[in-house]
Structure 1
């Protein structure tokens, strides 16, 4: 067992602390090439990750101007938070250790100084690291690098940001062969998979699991008296109960799945906040200064509640939070566990959380999520091999740093876990694309970026292009947004951002919510939305994009399992009555059968397909089925999808569904639909931007979304016509299939039902189909009357169908 240095040992002793077993084991295994630590939130995993660094830096004198430890965070705010928490013990122990962060918010002057005189510990993000390794002096800057600590590694492993990070680490490992890697997480559903993602292939990775601590205190809000509506996502019915919970606790985090829902709920909560409790709002569309103000007030304990989104999902230590409320179905068990961990962020203190379903069906989903948490059944989807558009960007980054040998770079890339099985042919295709743009584009100078010298080394054709490449590093595809400012002067106070499309729909006098404030649109000047405050008016709700999560496969199967239980004992009476009514009027969906309902409604024939495949897959299913129904003469008029069903309406009833669900025919229908669909162009635009074919940022200005779309559409049409097997078109098809289309889950559904399709012809709408009818006929309803009007429409629909409860 390795002893703590005296300085650190005394620091622990002076506080009456003792080192946790997993922290001691991290110290003992500090020489391992890779270690994955899975520890509960509040269990001191960040300190465990840094203990070997603090021990080494406190015991040995070392050369200055080289980085010893690199800390990677998926969030800029998390890096800043770690800096605050790390500087406290370093200062208290009087250790001569310099810690700095480097993110997109870091001033340029400090960035230049960090390259010349790096700190001992550098805290950064995947994008900033990718930029650092693109410089010629990267080998000097990282020459003394000993360890890299990756926080919240599960979040990075789920996205292209993680793929880019692993490629950057393969470059660092080539510079520093003895580099040791540490991954930290509280929520890992497949430790072996994350370990392979983290470690240098084929090096081993030790998996260390800490004592999970006490079970979380998690339950569903008592809604036996306040009945949730059949449809809708605002959960206005629960505001009185939520306010009571806020009063009973010190600090409450109220998580929402989208920014729009967070804004609406915050507005309604504030209107009902008669006692004037200090409540804030935090999400990614707010201005950075406003977010930081909320974060500081939260850390001081000045706020009783914060309405938030995924911007507070990860491991930031926010003051004395003792309750988490998840408003709306969580959609993903792993995300729910991560959010629960924000409450009682201390070792061996149980987290406390309440789930608040927004509508009747979400009651079932929340119950399924509760059971999954209690069973420690985390969900996750296999992402497959590393994407080639990210590899193309990495090749360009390597060229910025200096000449490279293609075979050496290929071998280096294959040490990155996501690219361990990369075929040489695919690497060569990426290299050829980076060098010439590919067959159809090689005649254009702007895509002639690399050339090979007589020694076989590849380098930039024009060294000046390195600046443009660096300006476009990253894999995050931002929605095109415009700044929102209070109209006073040209430098009015910033409030945040809204989508370009939403801004284009505004006319002077329109009102909307941002940051919990009602503002009135005044003008659009120089790509800035100028507004004024407008108290007392009903707002037009800003449709912030945010992330629209799809219910995970595991959670969907748990929902089907609950529906298969007799009498549904764990559910409240109003939901049991609703399920019983569905069973009486029609049937309940089953795991191994596909339930399809057919019924007339308001002069149209409706078909409802209960696939439970998630929103993206159900949307894709609707697109394919309507095309096939049109070919069959059923005259479909439209469709709408949720996570669990697709509702199609048209002129003719469905008699025999079997021909619609032939797997080969569905795939053929998908290919035909994709060939002429705008979705492929949007997917192409994203991949082409990551791969470097399209530059959003230039030394002159950032291209607007419209400009980028125009240029990418031309490129897509050109390649489709003259080079249909172009690398980027292949990437686009792969991305579409596993991204927005999610066809794999449709195939999984078909395998699950294995041809067992139950068509039920009904005389009227069923209880489970009713929410989709509401969604199908629902246009944006302005202001705070939204939930009341939806409720009135629900009641009217139910009375018309004879289903009123």
Structure 2
């Protein structure tokens, strides 16, 4: 058994601590090539990851960089720096610790490269940038360990793929470098272990005691949730009572826009003046730092937040987490729950607040999944080739390289282990020439092969431009928002360029929980003034729009098939019972369709439970098929669980609509010249380096970038349809943007077993979707009253008015 130096064990003793078993196990395995630790939130994962480093540095005289820590969030790196400084300063260890993110001043970055600290805390993008410099071998020469925090979050994104490619470069520089992965929520430990280790090296897995089960339930509210919407305004009084009853509460939302709306409503109802903050990725860094500092000091009673605080922030005073809206993903819910009572063997406490009636069922399914200890996840896809193209350019910035050596390095990353040499050579050729149709243009002639066979940049000055565009995060086009003053006022954050384009002087919107008045757009900056209006527009932040996971959808279907629902509130249980009387419940092994007339239109509702993106795509494909069959569709709306189509003709035979081959052919035809493909191509082209968003002295705005990417897309389709980036784009579009794979999974799950129920009136499950149709901007009391009457009329038509008093949709 490995022992800690006496100075560290003495420090533990003075604080009344003893080393946890999983921390001792990580210390014992410090010499293994790769180790994955899965431990509950608050279980001392970070200390477990750093104990071998502290032990090594406390007893040795290491020069230069010893340990590299990588996290998905800037805030997490800053938090770990604060927490590491405590033992280092208390013990008096001669260890230098520093962090490096996009927010780090350039002067400090230069010092870090010239004289690296012993421990450097960074993000995937900053690490990729560091590997691009010629002096990278000198900076990383003594590197012993890399600690990857929240590895489950990195493994699900292109940021993680870029990180693992960067590690292959570090491993080539430091062959004995050890890898450590830390996580509290891993659905498939073996898969994550394979992802962490250098292929084909083994990876040890350390499983800590999971600790006590979390205390998690649904929040009881006096008002029933509305039939549609995501704002959860009905729960504001109950949430305020929970804030008053706890020390510090984190209130999570799935989107930034919803967080802004909820924070505003909460603040207006906050008659006691409780200190409440807001934190999300579109806010200015200074404001985010201020909120984080206030949390550390214990000055805030609550923070309304999004995924920006999902991971690892160690705020011990947080004793309650509230999730507003259905969590969509059990793994994300468990991660968020863990923010409460962030201490070893202390149960996390959390409340779920469904924003609408159907989300009550989804929240119940999530609660049962947490209780059963099952997490959702998806199989890992092969490493994306656009990220590989960027990596090749990054490697060229650092100096000449041999293609054979780089191919051997790259295939050491688990996601790229199956990469063929032909696929690698195609990426290398693209980086060198731009591909067949573009090789005549000098701007894409970036690499050349020397007589000795090594590859290098054609023009060394290109390195600066490549470094300026490193990264895989593809945010929507965002514009800075500042208070208007003569010399540039206080920065507030960012809004989407598309949203800014809809604003005229005098319009108001929410940002950072305050209402501001749009004044002008000046040099890519939105200038605003403060405004006391209580009815603002809402900034449409990009944020992450989650789809309900396949595993959670399956649990929802199982709940719907139960004989009764004693665990659900009466209003929801009665709603489901009425659905069973009027029609039937969707089930796993069949595709339920309902058709009914309503106000001179014919409606078709498809209960696919395939997630919002897939159901949206299904609506596009089905309406296209209906046009071909002269069924006169007029439109559709989609949610995570269903697609509702309306038109002039009833559907009597659904079989022709759901022919898999025809759906696939319709998808290919629809994608060929569609904005979805162009949007996907733009993201791929940005990552692969075909399009530069940032150039010395200027940055393209969204319209300029879209214009140039659209021209390139049309050119390649016409003259080089087999171009590498078009092939990557097709794969991307079929994945996240249209999620056709989940449509195919839905068809495989139901195996052609389709049930069409012809009804004389709207079914209870379909009724909320009609309210989704009415979700348009509402201005003024008259429009609100009209919408309220529409809701009441609709609920009466569906036979739902008798269940609960009619309520206004929560828009």
Per the normalisation by structure 1, the TM-score is 0.98
Once the two structures are superposed, the pairs formed by residues 738-749 of structure 1 within 5 Å of their partners are 738-749=735-746
Cα 1:90–1:589 shift into 2, 3 Å: same
Once the two structures are superposed, the pairs formed by residues 326-725 of structure 1 within 5 Å of their partners are 326-725=323-722
**Native 8 Å contact 1:607 1:649 kept in 2:** yes
Paired with 2:445 and 2:45, the residues of 1 have a C-alpha distance of: 47
**Native 8 Å contact 1:393 1:692 kept in 2:** yes
**Native 8 Å contact 1:582 1:766 kept in 2:** yes
Paired with 1:785 and 1:443, the residues of 2 have a C-alpha distance of: 61
**CA offsets 1:721-758 (integer angstroms, 9 cap, x no match):** 01100000000001111111111111111111011000
**CA offsets 1:274-302 (integer angstroms, 9 cap, x no match):** 11111111111111111111111111111
**CA offsets 1:516-536 (integer angstroms, 9 cap, x no match):** 111111111222111111114
**CA offsets 1:752-789 (integer angstroms, 9 cap, x no match):** 10110000111111111111111113212248999987
Corresponding position of 2:94: 96
Asked if 1:774 is matched to 2:774, the reply is no
Asked if 1:259 is matched to 2:256, the reply is yes
**Native 8 Å contact 2:764 2:798 kept in 1:** no
Corresponding position of 2:19: 19
Report the secondary structure of 1:739's partner residue: helix
Corresponding position of 1:175: 173
2:244 to 244, 247, 262: 247
1:213 Cα deviation (Å)?
0.4
Paired with 2:731 and 2:242, the residues of 1 have a C-alpha distance of: 46
**CA offsets 1:214-243 (integer angstroms, 9 cap, x no match):** 0000001124x4211111111111111111
Paired with 1:538 and 1:630, the residues of 2 have a C-alpha distance of: 41
Paired with 1:791 and 1:613, the residues of 2 have a C-alpha distance of: 30
**CA offsets 1:494-541 (integer angstroms, 9 cap, x no match):** 111111111111111111111111111111122211111111442112
Asked if 1:134 is matched to 2:135, the reply is no
**Native 8 Å contact 1:629 1:636 kept in 2:** yes
Paired with 1:744 and 1:73, the residues of 2 have a C-alpha distance of: 30
Cα 1:789–1:216 shift into 2, 3 Å: farther
Report the secondary structure of 2:791's partner residue: helix
**CA offsets 1:613-634 (integer angstroms, 9 cap, x no match):** 0001101111111111110110
Report the secondary structure of 1:122's partner residue: strand
**CA offsets 1:378-429 (integer angstroms, 9 cap, x no match):** 0011231000000000000111111111011101100001101101110010
Paired with 2:730 and 2:571, the residues of 1 have a C-alpha distance of: 45
1:283 to 280, 288, 305: 280
Corresponding position of 1:49: 49
Corresponding position of 2:298: 301
**Stretch moving more, 67-76 or 786-795:** 786-795
Asked if 1:203 is matched to 2:201, the reply is yes
Corresponding position of 1:804: 801
**CA offsets 1:222-280 (integer angstroms, 9 cap, x no match):** 24x42111111111111111111111100111101111111111111111111111111
**Stretch moving more, 529-538 or 263-272:** 529-538
**Native 8 Å contact 1:229 1:358 kept in 2:** yes
Report the secondary structure of 2:691's partner residue: coil
Report the secondary structure of 1:595's partner residue: strand
Cα 1:164–1:227 shift into 2, 3 Å: same
Corresponding position of 2:757: 760
**Native 8 Å contact 1:234 1:264 kept in 2:** yes
Unaligned runs of 5+ in 1: none
Cα 1:784–1:735 shift into 2, 3 Å: farther
**Stretch moving more, 77-86 or 528-537:** 528-537
1:803 Cα deviation (Å)?
3.4
1:793 Cα deviation (Å)?
3.4
Paired with 2:781 and 2:261, the residues of 1 have a C-alpha distance of: 8
Report the secondary structure of 2:537's partner residue: coil
**Native 8 Å contact 1:298 1:319 kept in 2:** no
Corresponding position of 2:2: 2
Paired with 2:602 and 2:45, the residues of 1 have a C-alpha distance of: 57
**Native 8 Å contact 2:434 2:445 kept in 1:** yes
Report the secondary structure of 2:571's partner residue: helix
Once the two structures are superposed, the pairs formed by residues 225-240 of structure 1 within 5 Å of their partners are 225-240=222-237
Cα 1:254–1:519 shift into 2, 3 Å: same
Paired with 2:389 and 2:86, the residues of 1 have a C-alpha distance of: 41
Paired with 1:307 and 1:336, the residues of 2 have a C-alpha distance of: 16
**Native 8 Å contact 2:316 2:341 kept in 1:** no
Report the secondary structure of 1:207's partner residue: strand
**Stretch moving more, 521-530 or 723-732:** 521-530
Corresponding position of 2:121: 123
Report the secondary structure of 1:211's partner residue: coil
**Native 8 Å contact 2:596 2:760 kept in 1:** yes
Cα 1:788–1:72 shift into 2, 3 Å: farther
1:487 Cα deviation (Å)?
1.7
Paired with 1:33 and 1:791, the residues of 2 have a C-alpha distance of: 63
1:319 Cα deviation (Å)?
4.4
Cα 1:208–1:188 shift into 2, 3 Å: same
2:79 to 81, 92, 95: 81
Report the secondary structure of 1:266's partner residue: helix
2:219 to 210, 218, 221: 221
**Native 8 Å contact 1:764 1:801 kept in 2:** yes
Unaligned runs of 5+ in 2: 803-811
Report the secondary structure of 1:123's partner residue: strand
Cα 1:16–1:802 shift into 2, 3 Å: closer
Corresponding position of 2:808: none
1:547 Cα deviation (Å)?
1.1
Cα 1:782–1:28 shift into 2, 3 Å: farther
Paired with 1:333 and 1:301, the residues of 2 have a C-alpha distance of: 29
Per the normalisation by structure 2, the TM-score is 0.98
**Native 8 Å contact 2:432 2:445 kept in 1:** yes
Report the secondary structure of 1:404's partner residue: coil
**CA offsets 1:541-598 (integer angstroms, 9 cap, x no match):** 2222211100000000000000011111211111010001111111111111101011
Report the secondary structure of 1:227's partner residue: coil
**Native 8 Å contact 1:232 1:787 kept in 2:** no
User: Aligned residues, how many?
Assistant: 802
Cα 1:785–1:109 shift into 2, 3 Å: farther
Cα 1:632–1:332 shift into 2, 3 Å: same
**Native 8 Å contact 1:295 1:318 kept in 2:** no
Corresponding position of 1:322: 319
